[in-house]
Amino acid sequence: MSDYANDVLVSADWVEDNLDSFQSDDPEYRLVEVNSPESPEDDDFPSRYDEGHIPGAVGFQFDEDLSDEGQRDILKQDQFEETIGGAGISEDSTVVFYGDGHIANWFALFAYWEFKYFGHDDARVLNGGKDYWVENDYPLTDDEPDFSSQDYTASGPYDNIRAYKSEVDEAIETGIPMVDVRSPAEFTGETIAPEGLQETAQRGGHIPGASNVPVATVLNDDGTFKSADELRELYADHNVTDDESVITYCRVGERSSIEWFALHDLLGFYDVRNYDGSWTEWGNLIRAPIEQGEAD
């Protein structure tokens, strides 16, 4: 994986080789499975943490553990520190994230982005996520680890990787590239949310000036990331290059974190921000401009 700008992807083989370290009470290595609120039910696939997870992994629920549901926001710093320290993770831990049975690492990359927002240094991602792990017969367990709590002090937050409405307004005004990672049907306004998921906005469409690069297009069929050359060509086809700032967005900020990761960490683009308010915020705003129609 040396063709990427940063060494942040790990293989299933690497994780398997380090299972003893991930299961140790020593916080040097920690493995985190992130489940979505709508983890799919599949009798043939242990999509939920309690149905089977990688040995040593701790389980986080996106909406309950990594979000402030009252504010519809990410955790506040003190909430983050308490949650992460309580899971046995220290500031110095090498933390590897993987996701449940949605699109590979759908919500895991949101957790990765949130960790980076609060300044965690050594965060990595299991390439292919849980889908790849299960499909290739790597070991699973239903035993939950009980790690000693750690005193976690975040060095962040770092707002240079997060976009707010004001930055989106500026992007519309100045032509800063925006990448809408949702499906073409969501982008055009035909639908508001992926099939089977709750609609969280009043209007359909996309932010004016955004390009549609569906998240599945950055992944191979097995859920692993495409090569750096393939990713760079894909984004260049949408006039997204490393000489400009970029904003990514989706429905609630989780799919867009995948492409934030691809642009910021795999390709090394210098200024990439994830608009985690995404279409849930923009599609509910009064007088916020939208466009509908064909994807580019």
Cβ-Cβ contacts under 8 Å for 209 (sequence gap 6 or more): 171, 172, 175, 178
Opening angle at CA 160, ends 154 and 162, nearest 5: 85
**Average pLDDT score over residue span 89-100:** 95
- One domain for residues 140 and 120: yes
The reply to whether 148 and 165 lie within a common domain is no
Number of domains in the chain: 2
Q: pLDDT for 153-178, tens place per residue? A: 999 999 999 999 999 999 999 999 99
Could you list the active site residues? Answer: 250
In this predicted structure, the answer to whether residue 126 has a pLDDT above a threshold of 60 is yes
Look at residue 76 in the predicted model and tell me its pLDDT. 93
CATH code (residue 47): 3.40.250.10
CA–CA separation, 291 and 296 (whole Å): 12
Same domain, 258 and 145: no
* Domain span at 263: 160-282
| Pair 120, 61 in one domain | yes
**Residue 238 counted as domain residue:** yes
Whole-number pLDDT of residue 101 = 61
Residue 227 shares a structural domain with residue 200: yes
- Are 124 and 171 part of one and the same domain? no
pLDDT at 75: 85
